[in-house]
Structure 1
Amino acid sequence: MARPIVPDTTAFVHAIREAHQPFFDAVLRGQVWLSAVVACELYAGTRSAEEGRLLDRLLHGAAARDRLLVPSVEDWSAAGRLLARRVRLSGTLRPRDHLADVLIVVSAARVGGEILTANRAHFETWANLARRSGMNVTVGRGEPSAWGG
C-alpha cells in the first residue's frame, strides 16, 4: 500500500511556479496531505494576491478532506527531542533553523507519510533520526511530476 504523500514547501513552490494543476487537484481531492507548517511557509512567501487565493483554496480543500496536518502537542515535544538529539550527535546546530522541517517530519510520521521534497538530503537526515526514534516516515523526490501527481 502506498504511503500518504506529504509534500514539503519546495514541492508546493515547484507546483505553484509551474502551475501544475494535477498537483493542485490531488490536494483538493485529498490524495496528498498539506502540513500546516508548509502552509505557513507558503503564505509567508506569496508573491501575489493570486498566489494567496490559491493557497486559501488548497488549505480549505485539504481541511475539508481531513488532510491537513497540524502539529499536536506530542509532535512539538517529539520535534524538541529530535532537535536535542541532533545537537548531542552533531554539535553545533541552531534548532530554530530546523524547527519547521522537523515539525514536518514528525507530523508526517504520525500518518506514516512520505515527504516529497527537492531538499532530499536535508530531510533524509531528519527522517533517519526520526526512524531511529521509532517514527514511521520516508523521504521521496519533490517535483510533482516525479510521483505522477
Structure 2
Amino acid sequence: MTADPRWVALVRGADRPGTLTALTSVFSTRGVSFDSLATGAVDGGSGSIAVTFHASLRRQQHLVRTVERLTAVQSVVVRPASDPRVRAAGVVQMPPGVPFAPPPTVAVRWSGDAAAGQPVIVEGSLADIGAVVLRAREQGALATATVVLSA
C-alpha cells in the first residue's frame, strides 16, 4: 500500500470513442494505477467517469491539469477520498443464513436482509461504505461491490 493520499476524480467527458482511453493513458504514462474506475450513464452526449487513485498532492494536481486539457473532457472535480461529499453505494452478499448489518459507527442508509438471502445495499460516504465492505469481508461475504457516485 502506498503512503500517498487517496483521491477521487469525477470526470465528465464526451460520449465518443477514445475518451476513456485518453483518460486512462494520462494516468498510465505517469505511473499512476487506479484503485477503481467506473463509468456512469450517458446523458446529453456526455458521460461520467469516477476514478480513485493514490498520488501525492503535486502528482494529483499535475494529473488533473493534464486531464482537463484533453479535448474530450468537459470537467474534472477531484476530492480526497475521505471527504464526506464523496458519496458511494455498496452491495454485500453474505452466505445463506448469515445475518449482516453495517457497523453502528457508520452513517449509511441500507436495506436488505442477508440472512434471508437478500443482498444488503448501502449508501453513504465513500469512507463509511469502505468500513461496511471491510466488515462484510471479515464476516465471510461471498461478494462485495462499491461504486463511487458522481452526484
Say whether the fold is shared (TM-score over 0.5): no
TM-score calculated relative to the size of structure 1: 0.28
TM-score calculated relative to the size of structure 2: 0.28
Identify the structure with the greater strand proportion: 2
Q: Max radius of gyration: which structure?
A: 2
By relative contact order (CA 8 Å, sep 6+), the higher-ranking structure is: 1
